[in-house]
Amino acid sequence: MRRNRYDNDCTVFSPQGRIFQVEYAMEAVKQGTTATVGLTSKEYTVLVSLQGPAAADTSALPQRKILSVHPKLGLAFAGLVPDAQILHSHLCTQCLTYNLSYIGEMPVARLMTGLAIKMQAHTNRNELRPFGVGLLVAGHDSQGAHLYQAMPSAAVIKCRATAIGARSQLALRYLERHWNAFEHCSKEELICHGIQAIRGSLAQEQNLEIKLAIVGAAEEFRICDAAETQKYIEMSKRLDQEVSSVEALTEEETEEQTTSET
């Protein structure tokens, strides 16, 4: 088989044991226009996404990166928008079917198992291609708050905090440093952590707009409006300044102790 044949077929392994079509789909998620962050505590799950740069055509509607599935579940995505719309429609259909059959909300874990099966079918059939989109699914059910990450390889992982999309590594570094604190955070603290993580991936970009969504035990999935989002952004800036001041004081005290010991 010619070498380039491995690039075109998602059912054939290369001699190195790789499936290139799946890797290309994973790269489509990494090359997404903006980063998307998700984090969860015992009671709440928060999604934070960046709206892309303002389009030259002011009449064009901005592409939403956070979508609602049912009152207690929603998702954010990074990657190809048409693929995200297909998976969003699939999740909506599954939730509606379950609700009509059992008169109740579908458990999040069961919903994600069905999503993994659908995504996996696109990695082993010759007439299909893997979905070029990554999802962060936030939900709440009788088992508590949930955050799942679904990738084109059909790997579906339950997370406490994660990030996908362009420059997501910068956001992941922040999440790794504060990972232990998320479980016991209040709603406001969790949102501030999400904003701080997403701001770490901004670099020098301008004209980017932060979008927030939250779901909890006593709160249905909702996307915050501009005024509420701005309030949380200002709150996170104040928190960042307070943390910086404490760190500076700690460094000064350490230097003084070192000097006195010397």
pLDDT for 202-243, tens place per residue? 765 555 688 999 999 989 999 999 899 999 988 888 877 765
Domain 18-51+63-257 has CATH 3.60.20.10: yes
In this structure, what DSSP letter does residue 44 have?
E
Element (H, E) at 232: helix 226-261
More confident residue, 210 or 247: 210
Q: Please return the burial class of 142, using the count of CB atoms within 10 Å of its CB with bins 0-12, 13-18 and 19+.
A: exposed
Say yes or no to pLDDT of 181 above 60: yes
Predicted confidence band of residue 27 (pLDDT cuts 50, 70, 90): very high
Q: Which amino acid is at 250?
A: T
Which pLDDT tens digit goes with each residue over 124-174?
888 889 999 999 999 999 999 999 999 999 999 999 999 998 888 889 999
Which pLDDT tens digit goes with each residue over 121-136?
999 888 889 999 999 9
Say yes or no to pLDDT of 188 above 60: yes
Alpha helices in 41-130 (DSSP H): 81-102, 108-121
Instruction: Please name every residue paired with 49 in a beta bridge, in sequence order, or none if there are none.
Output: 36, 211
Say yes or no to pLDDT of 12 above 60: yes
Closest by CA position to 134, among listed 119, 148, 124, 149 = 149
Beta-carbon neighbour count of residue 195 at 10 Å? 24
C-alpha–C-alpha distance, residues 154 and 114, integer Å: 11
Say yes or no to pLDDT of 81 above 60: yes
